[in-house]
């Protein structure tokens, strides 16, 4: 509690006034903080002894930006642009002393100050685009004036958190402590007030050469695949170059207002809160602290094991990889090193870092090397027999209290836990391929998994930069279980008369980076074929492709033919489909894009409803997190369950009934939860923080 209000304290340090923002956890600029800032500025105005002002936050955050929960509501006065205008117009120097993060409105607040200093390690940025909006408190007008419009455009459209050490032009001095910031402020007394709005020198080049920004914007917009907010960011930065400052501000404000009320932004705000919510486990004792992980071990150096081990090394955590045979170990470590070399050649890693990362690995065939690991993750062959062998060994060797995790994608985690005498320490940590790249981590909670184990798995996910969601045990968990429903429809649609390129086009038009067949070709069609053979199931067209040696990209032919990685439709595939239709006595028909769309997505949503009914996922938004981070579901629609709510559950349930009747396929019948909610006119999700 400050002396101005609940979020702001005003202190005097000799001839410098210090305004301290303290609105935990991240100094979000809600109306209490904004009001406090306004009052504090007025209080300083009345203090002639204050010759300069320092505006400071907490070590964690100068400010994480506007309070996102206020979006979509009628915001209370004063608004952030008004606070910034008062600071910018102040008659004595105001210095922003940044630490932790200065993001969004937080950075915009600092840009409105006359000078900026920052503690080493601070992160600065305008990430609004990730919430489906654009900076709305002058960021699009002031950042280009400090960084130059091209660099600012790239930073704003990407929404990057820029390490202060690389934030050229943004800060006037590095100040590790409050005392240093106050000393800097003292050095500004009597100097002319440096207002960013008055600085035009970095805009001149783009003003003289109007093509410059267009050229920089083109690839950014292409990557944005039609999302509204990146295009608005571009428009506003162009305004910074071409319009007088106040007109640029007005343009930015208008674009901001439009976007805040858009469906896209609502969906992206939902995604923001959903990710944070997914890490909360109902019933977990408050304040339960996860024991730290100082050393990790991975069993198996194959596709997944190598990638998972890289995640730990990338986070600076020593990691031991255990393999059965030396040659498999050498192969696995070779792949790891090659991946790091590729990162260097692409410029995403420094040459010197390769040796540093590799030094964190211990590669061995000696199991005793895992005895001191805090977490062991198993990524060996996917059979229960091999899992039994491995977990029996882990039980004998791992230290008491170590977390024992399986990366299994299909097997019963409870059964795996039963191979040990410590099932409370066992759970699934389901990474996605390539594990060092994909963000999603499904944490599979077994019947016996303890809260300590869950807390630890969540802490590990955070430490290695994953987006985690806790799920229950079932075949395929959440993500793959829903994917199977889509795959079944993908197969059925081909048999009924659609072509791979038609279906893929519908799915990519919705915003997925890839359609189901292109994805199948990338992953390898033989994987599913072997699983079907093991389970005694069939998929006539997929099986026929594999029987013809078409495994996807790796054989240059699958649902498409390939020239390198570029797919093109293949008449041979059409022939194979026709042959299967003949064999099964199916009369192909023309299938419209609307039907394809509904059959791709509604059965998945239906399965999501079943997953909720069974308690496999805690909340609908957890399912959204899984699909947005693991499978490329377009964030601008907020994930399958959020999207379903925007479409209306009655429509979805009715269409599912229609397809179930027409195709005689009871698996398409709406789940009870879906039908019940539809009858009540309700959605899956109760209104959330972002739903306003």
CB of 122 to ligand 3HC, least distance (A): 11
Q: Which of 266/599 has CB closer to ligand 3HC?
A: 266
CB of 493 to ligand NAI, least distance (A): 24
Residue 384 near which of ligand NAI, ligand 3HC, none (CB within 5-8 Å, type-dependent): none
Q: Does 395 bind ligand NAI (CB under 6 A)?
A: no
Q: Which of 410/556 has CB closer to ligand NAI?
A: 410
Q: What are phi and psi of 612, to 5 degrees?
A: -70, -45
CB 611 within 8 A of CB 478: yes
- Position among 23, 229, 314, 409 found at the interface with ligand NAI (CB under 6 A): 409
Residue 135 near which of ligand 3HC, ligand NAI, none (CB within 5-8 Å, type-dependent): ligand 3HC
Nearest CA among 433, 434, 435, 453 for reference residue 444 = 453
The full DSSP string for 557-597 is BSSSEEETTEEE--HHHHHHHHHHHHHHT-------HHHHH
In this structure, the dihedral spanned by the alpha carbons of residues 265, 267, 270 and 276, taken in order and rounded to 10 degrees, is -100
CB of 31 to ligand 3HC, least distance (A): 12
Residue 381 near which of ligand NAI, ligand 3HC, none (CB within 5-8 Å, type-dependent): ligand NAI
Phi-psi category of residue 465: left, alpha or beta, with phi > 0 → left and psi -120 to 50 → alpha: left
Nearest CA among 203, 265, 209, 199 for reference residue 232 = 265
Residue 232 near which of ligand 3HC, ligand NAI, none (CB within 5-8 Å, type-dependent): none
Q: Which of 135/683 has CB closer to ligand 3HC?
A: 135
Peptide bond into 25 cis (omega under 30): yes
Residue 131 near which of ligand NAI, ligand 3HC, none (CB within 5-8 Å, type-dependent): ligand 3HC
In this structure, the dihedral spanned by the alpha carbons of residues 20, 21, 23 and 29, taken in order and rounded to 10 degrees, is 170
- Position among 36, 57, 65, 446 found at the interface with ligand 3HC (CB under 6 A): 65
426-431 and 440-445: which strand pairing?
antiparallel
Angle (CA) 616 622 628, round 5°:
125
Q: Does 276 bind ligand 3HC (CB under 6 A)?
A: yes
Q: Does 259 bind ligand NAI (CB under 6 A)?
A: no
Q: Which of 145/610 has CB closer to ligand 3HC?
A: 145
Q: Does 380 bind ligand NAI (CB under 6 A)?
A: yes
Q: Does 104 bind ligand 3HC (CB under 6 A)?
A: yes
- Position among 98, 102, 293, 379 found at the interface with ligand NAI (CB under 6 A): 379
The site that binds ligand NAI (CB under 6 A) totals a number of residues, namely 24
CB of 435 to ligand 3HC, least distance (A): 22
Residue 630 near which of ligand 3HC, ligand NAI, none (CB within 5-8 Å, type-dependent): none
Q: Does 407 bind ligand NAI (CB under 6 A)?
A: yes
Q: Does 75 bind ligand 3HC (CB under 6 A)?
A: no
Q: How many CA atoms lie within 13 A of 487 on its CB side?
A: 20
CB of 489 to ligand 3HC, least distance (A): 36
| Measured CA distances, 616 to 426, 443, 477, 483, 622 (Å) | 17, 11, 8, 15, 10
Angle (CA) 449 450 451, round 5°:
125
Q: Which of 128, 323, 442, 607 is catalytic?
A: 128
Q: Does 629 bind ligand NAI (CB under 6 A)?
A: no
Angle (CA) 266 267 273, round 5°:
90
Q: Which of 70, 88, 108, 598 is catalytic?
A: 108
Residues 209, 204: Cα–Cα separation, whole Å? 9
- Position among 275, 277, 323, 543 found at the interface with ligand NAI (CB under 6 A): 323
The full DSSP string for 34-73 is HHHHHHHHHHHHT-TT--EEEEE--SSEEE--B-GGGTTS
Residue 104 near which of ligand NAI, ligand 3HC, none (CB within 5-8 Å, type-dependent): ligand 3HC
Helix, coil or strand: residue 25: coil
H-helix or E-strand containing 165? none
Residues from 125 through 144 that contact ligand 3HC (CB under 6 A): 127-128, 131, 135-137, 139
Helix, coil or strand: residue 472: strand
- Position among 303, 415, 418, 688 found at the interface with ligand NAI (CB under 6 A): 303
Residue closest to ligand NAI, measured at CB: 302
Q: Which of these segments, 96-104, 236-244, 404-412, 662-670, binds ligand NAI (CB under 6 A)?
A: 404-412
Task: State yes or no: is 378 an active-site residue.
Answer: no
CB of 327 to ligand NAI, least distance (A): 9
Q: Which of these segments, 223-231, 425-433, 536-544, 623-631, binds ligand NAI (CB under 6 A)?
A: 425-433
H-helix or E-strand containing 553? none
Residue 661 near which of ligand 3HC, ligand NAI, none (CB within 5-8 Å, type-dependent): none
| Measured CA distances, 368 to 155, 298, 300 (Å) | 48, 13, 15
Q: Which of 545/626 has CB closer to ligand 3HC?
A: 626
Helix, coil or strand: residue 617: strand
Q: Does 381 bind ligand NAI (CB under 6 A)?
A: yes
Q: Which of 268/453 has CB closer to ligand 3HC?
A: 268
Residue 53 near which of ligand 3HC, ligand NAI, none (CB within 5-8 Å, type-dependent): none
Task: State yes or no: is 666 an active-site residue.
Answer: no
The full DSSP string for 396-446 is HHSPTT-EEEE--SSS-HHHHHTTSS-GGGEEEEEE-SSTTT--EEEEEE-
Q: Which of 301/542 has CB closer to ligand NAI?
A: 301
Q: Which of 379/460 has CB closer to ligand 3HC?
A: 460
Nearest CA among 101, 105, 52, 98 for reference residue 83 = 105
| Measured CA distances, 300 to 159, 409, 618 (Å) | 37, 15, 31
Q: Which of 135/300 has CB closer to ligand 3HC?
A: 135
CB 374 within 8 A of CB 291: yes
Residue 252 near which of ligand NAI, ligand 3HC, none (CB within 5-8 Å, type-dependent): none
Residues 110, 95: Cα–Cα separation, whole Å? 8
Angle (CA) 106 60 108, round 5°:
10
Q: How many CA atoms lie within 13 A of 257 on its CB side?
A: 9
| Measured CA distances, 572 to 504, 510, 569, 585 (Å) | 18, 28, 9, 20
What lies within 8 Å, CB to CB, of 255 at 6+ separation is: 134, 232, 235, 236
Residues from 5 through 64 that contact ligand 3HC (CB under 6 A): 25-26, 28, 64
What lies within 8 Å, CB to CB, of 105 at 6+ separation is: 29, 63, 65, 66, 80, 135, 136, 137, 139
Residue 386 near which of ligand NAI, ligand 3HC, none (CB within 5-8 Å, type-dependent): ligand NAI
Helix, coil or strand: residue 115: strand
Residues from 109 through 128 that contact ligand 3HC (CB under 6 A): 127-128
Residues from 386 through 405 that contact ligand 3HC (CB under 6 A): none
Residues 526, 406: Cα–Cα separation, whole Å? 23
CB of 281 to ligand 3HC, least distance (A): 13
- Position among 261, 433, 679, 680 found at the interface with ligand NAI (CB under 6 A): 433
Residues from 137 through 196 that contact ligand 3HC (CB under 6 A): 137, 139
Question: Site residues (CB under 6 A) for ligand NAI?
Answer: 299-305, 322-324, 328, 379-382, 386, 389-390, 407-409, 431-433
Catalytic residue numbers? 108, 128
Question: Site residues (CB under 6 A) for ligand 3HC?
Answer: 25-26, 28, 64-69, 80, 101, 103-105, 108, 127-128, 131, 135-137, 139, 273, 276
């Amino acid at each position: 509690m400050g002396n101005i209000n609940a979020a702001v304290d005003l202190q005097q340090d000799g001839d410098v006034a210090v305004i301290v923002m303290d609105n935990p956890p991240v100094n979000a600029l809600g109306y209490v903080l904004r009001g406090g800032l306004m009052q504090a500025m007025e209080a300083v105005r009345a203090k002639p002894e204050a010759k300069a002002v320092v505006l400071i936050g907490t070590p964690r955050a100068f400010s994480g930006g506007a309070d996102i929960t206020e979006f979509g509501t009628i915001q209370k006065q004063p608004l952030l642009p008004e606070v910034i205008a008062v600071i910018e117009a102040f008659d004595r120097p105001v210095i922003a002393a940044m630490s932790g993060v200065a993001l969004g409105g937080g950075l915009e607040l600092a840009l409105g100050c006359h000078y900026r200093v920052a503690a080493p390690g601070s992160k600065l940025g305008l990430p609004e685009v990730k919430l489906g909006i654009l900076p709305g408190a002058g960021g699009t007008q002031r950042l280009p004036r400090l960084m130059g419009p091209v660099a600012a455009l790239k930073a704003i459209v990407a929404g990057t958190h820029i390490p202060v050490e690389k934030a050229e032009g943004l800060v006037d001095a590095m100040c590790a402590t409050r005392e240093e910031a106050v000393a800097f402020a003292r050095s500004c007394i009597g100097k002319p007030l440096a207002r960013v709005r008055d600085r035009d020198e970095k805009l001149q080049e783009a003003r003289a050469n109007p093509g410059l920004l267009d050229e920089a914007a083109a690839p950014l917009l292409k990557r944005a695949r039609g999302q509204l907010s990146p295009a608005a960011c571009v428009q506003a930065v162009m305004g910074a170059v071409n319009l007088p400052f106040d007109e640029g501000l007005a343009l930015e404000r208008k674009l901001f207002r439009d976007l805040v009320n858009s469906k896209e932004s609502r969906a992206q705000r939902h995604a923001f809160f959903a990710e944070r919510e997914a890490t909360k486990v109902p019933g977990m004792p408050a304040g339960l602290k996860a024991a730290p992980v100082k050393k990790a071990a991975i069993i198996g150096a194959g596709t997944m094991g190598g990638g998972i081990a890289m995640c730990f090394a990338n986070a600076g955590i020593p990691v031991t990889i255990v393999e059965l045979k030396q040659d498999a170990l050498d192969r696995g470590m070779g792949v790891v090193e090659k991946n790091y070399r590729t990162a260097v050649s692409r410029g995403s890693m420094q040459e010197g870092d390769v040796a540093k990362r590799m030094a964190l690995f211990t590669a061995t065939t000696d199991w005793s090397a895992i005895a001191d690991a805090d977490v062991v993750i198993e990524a060996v062959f996917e059979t229960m027999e091999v899992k039994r062998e491995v977990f029996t060994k882990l039980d004998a060797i791992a230290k008491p209290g170590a977390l024992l995790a399986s990366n299994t994608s299909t097997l019963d985690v409870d059964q795996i836990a039963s191979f040990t005498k410590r099932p409370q320490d066992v759970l699934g940590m389901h990474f996605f391929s390539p594990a060092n790249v994909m963000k999603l981590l499904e944490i599979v909670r077994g019947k016996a998994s303890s809260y300590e184990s869950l807390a630890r798995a969540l802490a590990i996910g955070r430490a290695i930069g994953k987006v985690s969601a806790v799920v229950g045990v079932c075949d395929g968990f959440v993500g793959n279980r829903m994917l199977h429903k889509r795959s079944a429809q993908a197969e059925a649609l081909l048999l009924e008369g659609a072509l791979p390129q038609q279906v893929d086009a519908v799915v990519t038009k919705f915003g997925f980076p890839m359609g189901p067949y292109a994805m199948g070709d990338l992953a390898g069609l033989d994987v599913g074929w072997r699983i079907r053979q093991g389970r005694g199931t069939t998929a006539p067209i997929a099986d026929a492709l594999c029987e013809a040696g078409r495994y996807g990209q790796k054989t240059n032919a699958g649902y498409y033919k390939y020239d390198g990685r570029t797919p093109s439709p293949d008449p041979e595939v059409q022939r194979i489909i026709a042959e299967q239709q003949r064999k099964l006595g199916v009369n192909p028909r023309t299938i419209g894009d609307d039907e394809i769309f509904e059959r791709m997505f509604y059965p998945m949503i239906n399965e999501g409803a079943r997953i909720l009914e069974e308690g496999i996922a805690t909340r609908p938004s957890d399912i959204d997190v899984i699909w947005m981070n693991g499978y490329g579901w377009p964030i601008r629609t907020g994930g399958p369950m959020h999207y379903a709510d925007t479409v209306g559950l009655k429509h979805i349930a009715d269409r599912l009934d229609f397809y179930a009747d027409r195709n005689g396929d009871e698996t398409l019948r709406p789940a009870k939860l879906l039908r019940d909610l539809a009858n009540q006119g309700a959605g899956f999700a109760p209104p959330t923080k972002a739903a306003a």
